[in-house]
Amino acid sequence: MRRIVIRRCLQIIPLIFAVIVMNFVLIHLAPGSLFDVMTSEQQITDPKMLDQLRHTYGVDQPVWMQLVKYIWSVLHLDLGYSYRQNAPVFDVIAQQLPATLILMLAATVIALLVGVTAGVLASIKVNTIWDNLISLGAVFFFAAPSFWLGIMMTVLFAVKLGWFPVGGMRTIGVDQSAIGTVLDIMHHLVLPATALGLFYAATFARVMRASMLEVARLDFVRTARAKGLSGARVVIAHVMRNALLPIVTLLGLQLGTMLGGSVVIEAVFSWPGIGSLLFDSVMSRNFPMVLGVLVLGSLLVAVCNAAVDLVYLKLDPRIRAR
Amino acid sequence: MSGFTRRDFLMTTAGVAAAAYVGPSFAATETPKRGGTLVGTWGGFEPQSLFVPAGGGSSPYFTCTKVLERLIRLTVDLKFEPVLATEITPAADFRSYTIKLRPNVTWHDGKPLTSEDLVYNAMEYWKPISAGVTLDALESAEATDPLTVVLKFKVPVPEFFLKSVLAGKAGLVIPKHVYAGSNIITNPVNNTPIGTGPFKVKEWVRGSHVEMSRNDAYWNAGMPYVDKLVIRWWRDPASRSAAFEAGQLDIGTFNPIPMPDIARLTATKKVVAESKGYSNSAWITSVEFNQRREIFKKREVRQALMMGIDRQFIAETVFFGRARPSIGALHFSNSIFFTKDVQDYPFDIKKAAALLDAAGYPVKSGSRFKMSLVSAGWFEENVKIGQYLKQAFEDLDITVELAIPDRATSLKRIYTDYDYDVAVSNNSASIEPIPQTTQYYTTDGIVKGAAFRNATGYSNPKMDETVSKMAIETDEPKRIAMVREFDKLAAIDAPILPMVDLEPVTIVRTDVRNHSLTADFMGESWAEVWLDR
């Protein structure tokens, strides 16, 4: 187990290096630069002022030099300074990352709960109306664009029924106790997390159903039934546990895409996460911020994947032997 | 606005009244109620920083103007009203102006506002950073007593022009004791600005909202009327509609919701759509012809292309009627300088074709010539306009290569690389045409890499002369005549012309009172706004 953790950590270093170099090159290949955006927005035309700003932003140096300097500072755990936000990159990200993490976590929980339950149900009641309904739901939530789903849920649950707030993460301008704040955030979290989670729940449901049906045919399940275990116990302890492996694999892979999907959901629900920051930064070619988000994002995905590997060990002890 | 006469104009510019302003008189019919939280937004995204000293676009301007104030402001009927200055008086030769500051004004940190602050703003902030070339003629600023400053200029400066600058985007007054000795542009305090305004920044939650609390020590006693101002940002117009419907948003400026939603929401009688309050920041969508290209150097070609565009169609279909075809270089809401007495280009495809034939571009094997059309993708409408123009020009047998790049690429192609034949772009103009409107037409407006100015390469000595005379003409009626001269020349030469004048709307709940009373409402302090609930 320790070997896996160490190996994973060592793999993260070249991964981050590659993320930096690739994205640095990409953003410099895109037409327009942060300097262009900033000076045109601010209507700065005085050549002396332009030179001074070029120096401040560090764009008076050759591009490879900027890259080397950036990598050097990341090695020192310094993500640089964003002149657009007028604040250190890390501070800006640190303000917005927790919101994205909460949203991702909640969406993952919803996706797992809904997806696995639906998958198990569909496999038990295979080829009945239940199975068909669940399949239909899965196709619907998989096909519906998440922004559309988000807006529709807002219209129904926030505007018409008034059960949930229209957007945001907290009720603004009210001082609350710690428990009150947590409840308030959870209240705000329901719609965005459901809108984001249902898409992934759809995939989980389909995979879980197929995996359950496959495992249910295996010999050890027949043995379990033969020794007189109850139906529920066979399904939960024998079939489900073994059918969960592909779900865990999928979960690890989808954490990265969930980070991307949250950009859209954050926009619809004005959730103060990292998505809008990343989008704005790409549009304004603010490369220190883009790289900062991507470096932290890749770190996050890498850590999650390492965690998934550890879950494998728990679920299937045979993996340890290899 | 049409009732604005020349006499009114002369009266308003004869000097700002010394009386403390208590808000426009027609608003005083109801007694304002104190208290409540006002939740506002605008039709765009969160600002990069709450205050961007050099400008930075509409979003930081919208947030910082609730905190930072100016010397004077322009009302919706285009009269100047005192804010931080009680008087601005020109000398007889218009080469110097005496500014009297309002007494007993304090910054949010308790320090008093003095003439030292003003001298610092004039020489260290406005001239080098925010106003730039606009205040090129400013020679010195001198504090003669704690509340009086004399600004001296190299040349005579028209009164309306100077007051426009002071009441405009560049005229915000920042505290000397906070900024002195630092780089104003990169000072970290820009994320929690300190001003004299009715609201103090309490907390900015990035990605969500900024909460502002009432400044109890505000110089205008009794104001602001609301206890709290929350500016929230939604990235999605449909979500703003939902927020209005759910009663979680009170006011949204600059087209906050999708155009088709306006009729549906106002039908509920819970909100109204207000189009007043945009004349000093009047948006247009323009078409620019790159005169570095042989074809577009010919005036007849530019005029023909203007005639080939059905601008009524753009106004009705793309903007759902919230725009109208432009006449000349000035926005129709500019009731002081606007004139209809200029060359117009009504949609006439036959005449356009004949002009192109005469200009030496007949149809040869199916095409007259090839053009690259760049439509700046920062507004969704520009995407549709670009697609429409492609079809309209193809109807004139021109081969069109359309590109709708994102913001950064559009800025670079149009204003830095001049890599286009015909471009669709936008700008917002103040009532005063110098420099925001004129810099699109003058030779000194050509500055490579600087956006929203002369990118077409148009240069006409007669135009330059007209504008430089306008800049120093201090007799107002004569100056108005000169601006109309400029407008006529711009319309005939058509190096770049507005296609449609936009009419943005403010969506506001019916129980929000005293809004949209200034010529650039989203950029004013909102001290007088109150809630009737």
Centre a 10 Å sphere on the Cβ of residue A51 and count the other Cβ atoms it contains: 11
What integer pLDDT is reported at residue B3 of this predicted model? 39
- Integer Cα distance of A50 and B434 in angstroms: 23
pLDDT, mean of residues A46-74? 82
Tell me: cis bond preceding B435? Omega within 30 of 0 counts. yes
Yes or no, beta carbons of A36 and B228 under 8 Å apart = no
User: How high is the ipTM of this complex?
Assistant: 0.78
Mean pLDDT is lowest, of A238-242, A277-281, B27-31, for B27-31
Give the residue ranges of DSSP H helices in B168-298: 176-179, 237-245, 259-266, 294-297
- Could you say which of B37, B188, B411 has the minimum Cβ distance to residue A86? B188
Predicted pLDDT of residue A320: 64
Closest CA to B506 of B254, B308, B306, B266: B254
A84, A273, A281, B273, B339 from A73: Cα distances, Å: 19, 25, 20, 51, 58
The CA dihedral of A148, A150, A154, A156, to the nearest 10 degrees, is 60
Q: Which residues of chain B have a CB within 8 Å of the CB of A42?
A: 52, 54-56, 185
Cα three-residue angle A317-A320-A322, rounded to 5 degrees: 125
pLDDT the model gives residue A45: 66
Contact between A36 and B412 using a beta-carbon 8 Å cutoff: yes
Q: Chain B neighbours among A 135-174 (CB < 8 Å)?
A: 147, 151, 154-155, 158-159, 162, 165-170, 172-173
Q: Can you read off the two tokens belonging to residue A286? A: 């603010």
Res A304: pLDDT: 82
Band of pLDDT at residue A115, cut at 50, 70 and 90:
very high
In the block, which residue shows the tokens 């018409």? A160
Q: Which of A40, A42, A173 sits opposite B211 (nearest CB)?
A: A173
% of chain A residues with pLDDT over 90: 20
What is the pLDDT at residue B15? 41
Residues in Cβ contact with A45 at an 8 Å cutoff, skipping those fewer than 6 apart: B132, B133, B447, B449, B450, B453
End-to-end Cα separation, chain A, in angstroms: 12
Does the pTM surpass 0.80? The reply is yes
A137 or B133, which is more confident: A137
Decide if B239 and A167 are in contact by the 8 Å CB cutoff. yes
In whole angstroms, what is the distance from residue A77 CA to residue A66 CA?
Answer: 17
Task: Please report the pLDDT score of residue A260 as a whole number.
Answer: 77
For B104, left (φ over 0), alpha (ψ -120 to 50), or beta? left
Residues in chain A: 322
B395 vs chain A: nearest CA distance in angstroms? 31
A 10 A CB-CB count for B498 gives 28
Taking chain B (533 residues) in runs of 10, the rounded mean pLDDT of each run is: 39 41 50 93 91 88 96 94 96 96 96 96 92 89 96 96 94 96 90 96 90 95 94 90 91 93 92 94 95 94 96 95 95 95 95 95 94 94 96 96 92 92 94 93 89 93 96 95 96 95 95 94 94 91
**Cα(B175)–Cα(B112) distance, rounded to whole angstroms?**
10
Taking an 8 Å cut-off on Cβ atoms, the answer to whether A92 and B206 are in contact is: yes
| Nearest-5° Cα angle at B255, B251 to B259 | 115
Partner-chain residue, chosen from A42, A87, A268, that has the shortest CB–CB distance to B54: A42
**CA angle, A275 as apex, A269 and A279 as ends, to 5°?**
115
Nearest to B287 by CA among B367, B382, B378: B382
**Number of CB pairs < 8 Å for A and B?**
173
Interface test with A, best of B185, B230, B453 (most A CBs within 10 A): B185
Neighbours of B366 (CB within 10 A): 7
Nearest chain A Cα distance for residue B267, angstroms: 16
Residue of A33, A53, A96, A172 for testing the chain B interface, max B β-carbons within 10 Å: A172
Phi, psi of B240, deg, nearest 5: -65, -40
For B16, counting Cβ atoms within 10 Å of its Cβ (0-12 exposed, 13-18 middle, 19+ buried), the class is buried
pLDDT tens figures, A153-172: 998 998 888 899 888 888 87
- Please report residues of A whose CB lies closer than 8 A to that of B185: 42, 53
CB atoms A37 and B447 under 8 Å: no
What lies within 8 Å, CB to CB, of A15 at 6+ separation is A298, A302
Q: What distances in angstroms separate CA A1 from CA A10, A43, A252, B312, one per listed residue? A: 15, 58, 18, 71
Query: Quick one: pLDDT at residue B420?
Result: 96
| DSSP H or E run through B114 | none
Q: Which of B41, B236, B430 to mutate to test the interface with A (most CBs of A within 10 A)?
A: B236
CB B215 within 8 A of CB B108: yes
Tokens of B147: 């509340």
Residue A90: exposure state from Cβ atoms within 10 A (0-12, 13-18, ≥19): middle
Least CB-CB distance to A283: which of B49, B407, B452? B407
Region A301-318: mean pLDDT is: 80
Q: Do A43 and B132 touch (CB under 8 A)?
A: yes
Q: Which residue has the tokens 């495992």?
A: A215
Can you give the pLDDT at residue B7?
39
* Token output for A132: 């068909």
For the beta carbon of residue A118, count every other beta carbon within 10 angstroms: 24
Give the model's pLDDT for residue B29: 61
Nearest CA to B431 among B9, B46, B3, B7?
Answer: B9
* A44:B205 CB<8 A: no
Say yes or no: A51 contacts chain B, CB-CB below 8 A: no
Name which of B128, B211, B409 is nearest A32 (Cβ-Cβ): B409
pLDDT for A288 equals 87
Whole-number Å distance between alpha carbons of A242 and A235: 10
